[in-house]
Amino acid sequence: MDQKGFRRGSFQSATSDEDMLEVAGASMDFSMGDDDPPLDREMGGFSSYNGGGMNGTSAMMDFLEEPLPGVGTYEDFNTIDWVREKSRDRDRHREITNRSKESTWALLHSVSDAFSGWLLMLLIGLLAGSLAGLIDISAHWMTDLKEGVCLAGFWFNHEHCCWKSNTTFTDRDKCPEWKSWSQLILGHGEGAFAYILNYLMYVIWALMFSLLAVLLVKGFAPYACGSGIPEIKTILSGFIIRGYLGKWTLVIKTITLVLAVSSGLSLGKEGPLVHVACCCGNILCHLFTKYRKNEALRREVLSAAAAAGVSVAFGAPIGGVLFSLEEVSYYFPLKTLWRSFFAALVAAFTLRSINPFGNSRLVLFYVEFHMPWHLLELVPFILLGIFGGLWGAFFIRSNIAWCRRRKTTRLGKYPVLEVIVVTAITAILAFPNEYTRMSTSELISELFNDCGILDSSKLCEYVNDFNSTKGDDLPDRAAGPGVYTAMWQLALALIMKVFITIFTFGMKVPSGLFIPSMAVGAIAGRLLGVAVEQLAFYHHDWAIFSGWCSQGADCITPGLYAMVGAAACLGGVTRMTVSLVVIMFELTGGLEYIVPLMAAAMTSKWVADAIGREGIYDAHIRLNGYPFLEAKEEFSHKTRAMDVMRPRKNDPPLTVITQDTMTVEDVETIVTSTTYSGYPVVVSRASQRLVGFVLRRDLIISIENARKKQDGIVSTSIICFTDYCPPLPPSSPSVLKLRSILDLSPFTVTDETPMEIVVDIFRKLGLRQCLVTHNGKLLGIITKKDVLKHIAQMANQDPDSILFN
Amino acid sequence: LFPQAPRMFTQSSRNSVSPVLLLVLLSCVLCPPAQASKSSEDIRCKCICPPYRNISGHIYNKNVSQKDCNCLHVVEPMPVPGNDVEAYCLLCECKYEERSTTTIKVIIIIYLSVVGALLLYMAFLVLVDPLIRKPDPYTQPLHNEEDSEDAHSLAAVPSLAGARANTVLERVEGAQQRWKRQVQEQRKTVFDRHKMLS
């Protein structure tokens, strides 16, 4: 079967793992869907689904006073019913409020119920912050492990190893406790042989880390690969992916993220941190009944957790909330705004107290200068914006093409080999150039840095005129030889990063996109900044410069150009707007640079949108065929509901269930012979007047349960969906009453309703299906998948690419 | 509805006790690193002084508290004569830094032990597990289509819901089997059928 074909060519022990695992049949076990704990057998009576039609204390409850465990839950890869979940929550809340007037205990319960949301946010913030601290410290250490080891304690990275010893001004990195690998093995660090040994050790460590990462992902939690943000977007719009936010995924994602980042691959950790934070949110939801049982409320918690994730990645709580609002969430009610901010703040505070970078900063590339900029500099900033937009569009196109190739051809059959090859190429190309050898965060930090007299890096090797130095405010100077070397090295680094990131994003290790895009933008920005600075220095008498940039003044700040370039490239790829600007200005700690950042971000978004409509995450959603109904685009075609509904003209008529004339056997036949996820219930086949809608999963569970537990239910028992079942002769078997699982208020539209309105209804209410009537009679059904296929068809895309049901 | 009320309350009180417990646990774990041992080796004042006239640049480190972290206390021996000290000190930049070596050590050791444990578990699953588990000739063939799940659910009795595992070992084994099946499903979805996460 599949297994034998897969064994060919892949890493042996990994696939033999598959063969060894026992698979004892795939019977559907409703109570243990994923790592969710088993459903409570004591689901209170108030959570019975009533669809908003009847009130919770309906007197005609039949023997099913307690809904069965499993009723009201969803299968994997299905969409939730937002309306049902929200009405269940309102009922539960009403119940608690009504009961709170009775006793003090009930009052305390209602208070604790209201308070539970805040407690959950606090816990999510704490856990996300701690995990981010663990990831930061471990990644920092393991990145340096490729180059050497600290003799004073192997757990110190380079910076901490040299913390106590006295370093010289020019050689700030060298100290006796830190030994590079060639120094350790050979005894000395100079010479060609030592260089080759260092090179070899670097490549070997990189390969080891990435191999370990991909093996762990493949062996324990295959859902932990990739960025996670497209899937989280889909989950937050109502899709169910069991196990995607589970315990094992959390553990493996945290561990392998560190390994992937340390192996020198061109990826970042911001996107995966959002996934990690959402896993924390999902796992902590299980502690509170209110959030465990209700999928809609849980998604609000996940929105807040995503905000906490971005907040710890960038040290930007406000930016995190805005990112969650703009990019990740689908429905974002107002109360989630305040709670997200709270969670983000707690997470940032926790991370600060763990202090991963040793100076109370949250991010490695925090910028501290506040130099003014001139209006004429907007021209190069807009140029950077155009570059960012062009690069973003180019990256999205090529990355999607490469991922599509990975999905459809034989390339996808060798994931472990692919990771190893890409790591080897990255490591071999990265080592010779010092700007690619250092970790990308350090590179960005160095590029953002404004050169003062205290800096001795190659990038700051300007020709100094000591007589004119006044304090730390250096004028624009001519570039020394170090700067020229740095420029062409940076240009090579730029080319390498532009191309290697295309192949890295989407591999089967956790990979993020933010840091590589910011690195590309920062390099481009710094190059442009130094060019403009030298132009202003050598030609200070030109008309454009003479007004504001006289000789001896410090007017151009290349570090600012790097920052603006980073924002432009990030905006071009992800198409973020407000959240990008807010994250960037929270990184710099000042409002001076808002105008350049906005100019660059807007330009880059316009240029990128002119070339391709979608950001990278939406493009990946479309590539994978997730059933995500895009909330931002207008549907502008003149089709009507009858053009989209099923059954079409030549199809067999709609499969319906009658309210009180079908037997158990009939219904079972219908359920086994079709694969629909729900069936309309009508008064009779002749009249086709609508009674309600019943879900497949609920039907299956109820019938099975009735067959086992209830007396007298046989295949010829009548199923009755009404309050008052028709009287039967005494010799016939007892009636199976299933009114409690019937949705009495399904949404209907008439067949002449324009599709614009139908799409709007689906978006705004979060429907799964909508019934179509004509002159009051049931005619057909429109499901979310039909809507998605129709939109794809209208946009001339392949409607068969919508894979999930 | 009402007979279920006391059950519901005990269940919800249990549920509100466990998050509080978790909070206490988390704070116990986080407090020691947060109040990091302010041992003398973990704080320093770092002064960077650039090249000045004919004096080369130098970096000075000293274990002083935050109020003493300025050029006059840290830069010793002062390389310039008395009247130049002020000009020299204006160029120097002094920063107070602290770190927690305990936090770093603890976190790295936790991380390495988790990685080691996972590696051992993976080795166990690949090498040892198939040897101790007798190969079962009656294992059902793997169902590749998920559409057949519903049909089977109506026809076949779910084999897991029936027998309640008695001993701890059997329960652990049952949980492990379920987990393995889940991972296999996930692996098929992501790696084989490329349905997700490409």
Closest CB to A40 among B11, B22, B130: B11
ipTM of the complex model: 0.84
CB contact under 8 A, B118 and A28: no
User: In what helix (H) or strand (E) does residue A373 lie, and over which residues does it extend?
Assistant: none
Average pLDDT of the segment spanning A238-254: 93
Closest-CA residue of chain A to B92: A454
Residue A274 contacts residue A344 (beta carbons within 8 Å): no
CA distance A358 to A299: 35
Say if residue A503's pLDDT is above 80. yes
B24 at interface of A, judged by CB pairs closer than 8 A: no
3-state secondary structure A6-53: HHCCCCHHHHHHHHHCCCCCCCCCCCCCCCCCCCCCCCCHHHCCCCCC
Domain C-terminal end among B50, B84, B99? B99
pLDDT digits (tens, 9 = 90+) for A348-396: 999 988 877 766 677 777 777 778 888 889 999 999 999 999 999 999 9
Taking all residues of chain A, what is their mean pLDDT, rounded to a whole number? 84
Say if residue A294's pLDDT is above 50. yes
CB contact under 8 A, B18 and A287: yes
Task: Based on the fold, state whether residues B56 and B94 are members of the same structural domain.
Answer: yes
A552 at interface of B, judged by CB pairs closer than 8 A: no
User: Any idea what the Cα angle at residue A682 is, between residues A679 and A683, rounded to 5°?
Assistant: 155
Got the DSSP string for A526-541?
A: HHHHHHHHHHHHHTTT
User: In what helix (H) or strand (E) does residue A779 lie, and over which residues does it extend?
Assistant: strand A777-783
Closest CB to B178 among A17, A32, A160: A32
What is the largest distance, in Å, between two alpha-carbon atoms of chain B?
97
For residue B55, tell me if it sits in a domain.
yes
For residue B171, tell me if it sits in a domain.
no
The contacts of residue A495 (CB under 8 Å, 6+ apart) are none
For residue B150, tell me if it sits in a domain.
no
B158 at interface of A, judged by CB pairs closer than 8 A: yes
Q: Note the pLDDT of residue B91.
A: 83
User: Any idea what the Cα angle at residue A705 is, between residues B8 and A660, rounded to 5°?
Assistant: 110
pLDDT band at A119 (very low <50, low <70, confident <90, very high): very high
For residue B32, tell me if it sits in a domain.
no
A665 at interface of B, judged by CB pairs closer than 8 A: no
B56 at interface of A, judged by CB pairs closer than 8 A: yes
For residue B53, tell me if it sits in a domain.
yes
A475 at interface of B, judged by CB pairs closer than 8 A: no
CB contact under 8 A, A471 and B91: yes
Domain that holds residue B75: 42-99
- Hey, how many other C-beta atoms are within 10 angstroms of the C-beta on A38? 11
What is the largest distance, in Å, between two alpha-carbon atoms of chain A?
113
pLDDT by position in tens, chain B (length 198): 444 444 444 454 454 555 565 566 555 555 544 444 445 567 888 888 888 778 888 888 888 888 888 888 888 778 788 888 888 888 888 888 888 888 899 999 999 999 999 999 999 988 888 887 766 555 444 444 444 444 444 444 344 444 555 788 889 889 988 999 989 989 988 888 887 877
Within the 105-134 window of chain B, which residues sit less than 8 Å (CB to CB) from chain A?
A: 105, 107-111, 114-115, 118-119, 122, 125-126, 129-130, 133
Q: Which CATH class is domain A123-165+176-354?
A: mainly alpha
The contacts of residue A470 (CB under 8 Å, 6+ apart) are none
**B chain contacts of residue A13, beta-carbon cutoff 8 Å:** 126
CA distance A631 to A628: 9
Average pLDDT of the segment spanning A15-25: 35
A109 at interface of B, judged by CB pairs closer than 8 A: yes
- Hey, how many other C-beta atoms are within 10 angstroms of the C-beta on A439? 20
Tokens of B157: 């009795």
Alpha helices for A539-577 (secondary structure H): 543-546, 558-574
Closest-CA residue of chain A to B53: A466
For residue B80, tell me if it sits in a domain.
yes
CB contact under 8 A, A22 and B139: yes
pTM: 0.85
A88 at interface of B, judged by CB pairs closer than 8 A: no
Domain count, chain B: 2
Q: Note the pLDDT of residue B154.
A: 42
**B chain contacts of residue A225, beta-carbon cutoff 8 Å:** 190, 197
Say if residue A29's pLDDT is above 50. no
CB contact under 8 A, A406 and B48: no
Say if residue A15's pLDDT is above 70. no
**B chain contacts of residue A506, beta-carbon cutoff 8 Å:** 198
The residue that leads in pLDDT, A216 or A60, is: A216
Amino acid identity at A134: L
Say if residue A737's pLDDT is above 80. yes
Q: Is A732 exposed, middle or buried (0-12, 13-18, 19+ CB in 10 A)?
A: exposed
Task: Based on the fold, state whether residues B46 and B95 are members of the same structural domain.
Answer: yes
Q: In A274-315, which ranges are E strands?
A: none
**B chain contacts of residue A258, beta-carbon cutoff 8 Å:** 111
Alpha helices for A221-267 (secondary structure H): 229-236, 247-262
CA distance A264 to A430: 8
Average pLDDT of the segment spanning A781-801: 84
Within the 397-426 window of chain A, which residues sit less than 8 Å (CB to CB) from chain B?
A: 403-404, 406-408, 412, 415
Task: Based on the fold, state whether residues B75 and B107 are members of the same structural domain.
Answer: no
Q: Note the pLDDT of residue A216.
A: 94
Looking at domain A375-413+440-463+474-624, which of 1.10.3720.10, 1.10.3080.10, 3.20.20.70, 1.10.300.10 is its CATH number? Answer: 1.10.3080.10
List the domain boundaries for chain A: 123-165+176-354, 375-413+440-463+474-624, 641-795
Distance in Å, alpha carbon of B17 to nearest chain A alpha carbon: 9
Give the CATH number of domain A641-795. Answer: 3.10.580.20
Q: Do domains A375-413+440-463+474-624 and A641-795 have the same CATH topology?
A: no
Q: Note the pLDDT of residue A67.
A: 67
**B chain contacts of residue A17, beta-carbon cutoff 8 Å:** 122, 125-126
Cis, bond preceding B77 (omega within 30 deg of 0): yes
For residue B67, tell me if it sits in a domain.
yes
Distance in Å, alpha carbon of A453 to nearest chain B alpha carbon: 6
For residue B198, tell me if it sits in a domain.
no
